[in-house]
Structure 1
Amino acid sequence: MNEKVILNAENIRQLDWGAINGCEAASLLEGLHYQHHARQLNYGEFLLQMPISSDANPYHGFGGSPFKNQPGNFEAIFTRPLVWWGSSYGHLTELSGADPDWLYCSVRQGDPVLVFVTIHFEAPEWDEYPFGRVPANNHAVLLDGVDTHQVHVSDPIDGQYWLSKATFEQIYNARRMAIQINK
Structure 2
Amino acid sequence: MKGLILLGAENINQNAWGAINGCEAASLLEGLHFQKRAEMINYGQFLLDMPISADGNPYRGFGGSPFKNQIGKFEAIFVTPLMQWGSRYGSLINLSGAAPWWLYQSLKEGSPVLVYVTVHFEDPKWEQYPFGKVPTNNHAVLLDGIDSDRVHVSDPIDGKYWLDRNKFETIYNSRRMAVTIQK
TM-score (norm 1): 0.99
1:37 aligns with 2:55: no
1:125 Cα offset (Å): 0.3
Output the amino acid matched with 2:35: Q
Q: Within 5 Å, give how 1:6-155 maps onto structure 2.
A: 6-155=6-155
Aligned residues: CA RMSD = 0.4
Output the amino acid matched with 1:56: G
CA distance in 2, matches of 1:49, 1:141: 20
Count of matched residue pairs: 183
Tell me which stretches of 4 or more aligned residues in structure 1 moved more than 4 Å: none
Identity of aligned residues (%): 68
In structure 2, stretches of 5+ residues that fail to align are: none
1:108 Cα offset (Å): 1.0
1:89 Cα offset (Å): 0.2
CA distance in 1, matches of 2:150, 2:108: 13
Output the amino acid matched with 1:135: P
CA distance in 2, matches of 1:110, 1:30: 14
- Where 1:128 maps in the other structure, the secondary structure is strand
CA distance in 2, matches of 1:28, 1:2: 27
Deviations 1:31-57 (A, max 9, x none): 000000000000000000000001100
Deviations 1:100-127 (A, max 9, x none): 0000010111000000000000000001
1:164 aligns with 2:158: no
CA distance in 1, matches of 2:127, 2:19: 22
CA distance in 1, matches of 2:155, 2:113: 12
1:6 Cα offset (Å): 0.2
